[in-house]
């Protein structure tokens, strides 16, 4: 993409309404525009990152054997009356009626609808296990929408639902989700720590939240510092293996890590003092096992081996896809702007032409641009007639991990400059070598 042909409405001034750095940077980098409290338009660069995050979530869900569907955003009230949640959900549920006076609502989550799909089409234990998921817009009429996409009213969520014959099978599904989430967040350059949590209006016994540590996080968290040493890495896990998933769950959840809702001061104090941490975190996902709560209420049963009708065991599992943009920026920025992890960056590499209009510099930029594209990467070429300082400021603000700077002086010596956004380090390389290095970095992700 050439910047002169793109739509990147960066703001020079700090927007006064933004209280936290991710919100400020998303507005300044022209990623989102607020339309109402907690409701945003996604401008091209914000939308691009949203899609990247969404793709990673899809890939990891599919890897875990989960199957994508899409359910409607506007739902009838009847299913929610069956489960009892039409009344229970309260003012967070945005309600409306259609022209026939039928009660409708904007979906805040989808346990009821997915259970309805299940009961209409699945009758036998032979069709289990089954996990269906979607990535879809949700609406919750939050009392205090704030911090941009972090606590929106309209937000994008991956919500997945497992259906299993027995509690043991459903707990395996729970563990499998935990494993796949660890992998998902790490691919985005994030450490998200599973913490024992409270189930709230979803209901259920077992639940973990995934928290990214950040001073601006809304949740207070208490943990053993040893949990931050754990990384999932590129382990090759067989998601069908009960033992393997169980082992990962135990490794990642046996140390003390809890949100304030489940915090147990006495237990926490059993830890050596130097390992006790009290901090804040951003909740980027939550997994639940809730047994037969919805299948009982809505008659979602299958016949078992003995031809007996039994209610299925379920759980639901969410990832805050739009919130993740904010969480990634909170975890990865400096005073100049965003620093995108390679896995989610909107463009792979920036190209800055220090002397637009100079024949050689222009030609060298075109060659670099073509070479990066030919290697399957997306460069962003700042081809504006701007002074170098302005171009650097924009690149730093929008946070592309790599930048190639091209100027007449370097070209005389046959070199361009390759700069790493995170470390700030630069090296002079022949143009082909710079391209080769960038290609190599992304090939090894």
Q: Are strands 276-291 and 206-213 parallel, antiparallel or unpaired?
A: antiparallel
Asked if 46 interacts with ligand 5CA (CB under 6 A), we say: no
- Residue 413: φ, ψ to 5°: -95, 5
> Least separation, in Å, of the C-beta of 155 and ligand 5CA?
4
CA separation for the pair 215, 213 (Å, rounded): 7
Among 152, 341, 350, 431, binds ligand 5CA (CB under 6 A): 152
Among 48, 151, 391, 421, binds ligand 5CA (CB under 6 A): 151
The interface with ligand 5CA within residues 196-225 (CB under 6 A) comprises 202
> Least separation, in Å, of the C-beta of 77 and ligand 5CA?
18
Listed in sequence order, the residues at least 6 apart from 13 whose beta carbon sits closer than 8 Å to its beta carbon are none
> Least separation, in Å, of the C-beta of 270 and ligand 5CA?
28
Asked if 315 interacts with ligand 5CA (CB under 6 A), we say: no
Asked if 140 interacts with ligand 5CA (CB under 6 A), we say: yes
Closest to ligand 5CA by CB, 286 vs 353, is: 286
Closest to ligand 5CA by CB, 323 vs 403, is: 323
Among 187, 258, 277, 317, binds ligand 5CA (CB under 6 A): 317
CA separation for the pair 236, 19 (Å, rounded): 41
Q: How many CB atoms lie within 10 A of CB 146?
A: 16
> Least separation, in Å, of the C-beta of 308 and ligand 5CA?
29
The interface with ligand 5CA within residues 215-274 (CB under 6 A) comprises none
> Least separation, in Å, of the C-beta of 258 and ligand 5CA?
16
> Least separation, in Å, of the C-beta of 153 and ligand 5CA?
7
The helix-helix angle for 242-253 and 167-187 (nearest 10°) equals 60
Instruction: Give the containing element (helix H, strand E) for 194.
Output: strand 192-196
CA neighbours within 13 Å on the CB side: how many for 85? 24
Asked if 184 interacts with ligand 5CA (CB under 6 A), we say: no
Stretch that binds ligand 5CA, among 25-33, 151-159, 334-342, 386-394 (CB under 6 A): 151-159
In terms of C-beta distances under 8 Å and separation of at least 24 residues, what long-range contacts does 261-265 make, across chains too?
261/197, 261/198, 262/196, 262/197, 262/198, 263/220, 263/222
211: Cα separation from own chain's centroid: 12
Closest to ligand 5CA by CB, 207 vs 301, is: 207
Stretch that binds ligand 5CA, among 155-163, 291-299, 407-415, 420-428 (CB under 6 A): 155-163
> Least separation, in Å, of the C-beta of 299 and ligand 5CA?
20
CB 76 within 8 A of CB 103: yes
Stretch that binds ligand 5CA, among 212-220, 228-236, 293-301, 312-320 (CB under 6 A): 312-320
Closest to ligand 5CA by CB, 202 vs 279, is: 202
Among candidate residues 120, 66, 103, the one with its CA nearest the CA of residue 298: 120
Helix, strand, or coil (residue 324)? helix
Asked if 142 interacts with ligand 5CA (CB under 6 A), we say: yes
CA separation for the pair 76, 29 (Å, rounded): 39
Closest to ligand 5CA by CB, 93 vs 439, is: 93
**DSSP bridge pairs for 162:** 131, 315
CB 73 within 8 A of CB 288: no
Q: Are strands 416-420 and 402-406 parallel, antiparallel or unpaired?
A: antiparallel
> Least separation, in Å, of the C-beta of 159 and ligand 5CA?
3
CA separation for the pair 49, 157 (Å, rounded): 15
Asked if 316 interacts with ligand 5CA (CB under 6 A), we say: yes
What residues make contact with ligand 5CA under the rule CB under 6 A? 109, 140, 142, 151-152, 155, 157, 159, 202, 283-286, 316-318, 320, 322-323
């Amino acid at each position: 993409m050439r910047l002169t042909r793109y739509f990147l409405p960066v703001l020079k001034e700090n927007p006064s309404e933004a209280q936290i750095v991710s919100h400020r940077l998303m507005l300044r980098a022209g990623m989102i525009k607020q339309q109402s409290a907690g409701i945003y338009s996604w401008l091209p660069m914000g939308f691009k990152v949203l899609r990247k995050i969404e793709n990673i979530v899809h890939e990891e869900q599919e890897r875990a054997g989960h199957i994508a569907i899409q359910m409607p955003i506007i739902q009838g009230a009847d299913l929610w009356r069956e489960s009892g949640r039409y009344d229970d959900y309260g003012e967070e549920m945005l309600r409306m009626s259609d022209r026939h006076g039928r009660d409708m609502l904007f979906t805040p989550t989808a346990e009821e609808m997915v259970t309805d799909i299940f009961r209409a089409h699945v009758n036998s234990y032979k069709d289990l296990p089954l996990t269906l998921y979607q990535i879809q817009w949700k609406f919750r009429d939050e009392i205090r929408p704030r911090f941009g996409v972090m606590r929106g009213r309209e937000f994008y969520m991956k919500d997945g639902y497992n259906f299993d014959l027995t509690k043991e099978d459903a707990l395996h599904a729970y563990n499998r989700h935990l494993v796949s989430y660890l992998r998902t967040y790490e691919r985005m350059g994030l450490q998200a720590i599973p913490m024992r949590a409270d189930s709230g209006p979803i209901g259920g016994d077992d639940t973990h939240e995934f928290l990214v540590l950040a001073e601006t996080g809304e949740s207070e968290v208490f943990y053993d510092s040893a949990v931050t040493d754990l990384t999932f890495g590129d382990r090759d896990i067989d998601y069908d293996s009960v033992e393997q998933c169980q082992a990962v769950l135990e490794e990642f959840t046996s140390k003390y890590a809890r949100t304030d809702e489940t915090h147990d001061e006495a237990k926490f104090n059993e830890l050596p003092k130097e390992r006790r941490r009290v901090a804040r975190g951003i909740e980027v996902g939550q997994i639940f096992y809730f047994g037969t709560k919805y299948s009982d209420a809505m008659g979602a049963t299958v016949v078992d081996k003995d031809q007996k009708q039994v209610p299925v065991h379920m759980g639901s599992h969410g990832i805050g896809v739009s919130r993740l943009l904010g969480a990634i920026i909170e975890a990865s920025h400096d005073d100049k702007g965003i620093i995108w992890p390679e896995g989610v960056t909107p463009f792979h590499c920036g190209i800055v032409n220090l002397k637009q209009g100079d024949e050689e510099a222009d030609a060298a930029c075109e060659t670099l641009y073509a070479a990066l594209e030919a290697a399957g990467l997306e460069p962003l070429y700042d081809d504006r007639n701007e002074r170098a300082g302005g171009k650097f400021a924009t690149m730093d603000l929008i946070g592309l991990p790599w930048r190639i700077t091209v100027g007449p002086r370097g070209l005389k010596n046959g070199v361009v400059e390759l700069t790493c956004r995170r470390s700030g380090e630069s090296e002079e390389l022949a143009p082909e070598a710079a391209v080769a290095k960038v290609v190599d970095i992304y090939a090894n992700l």
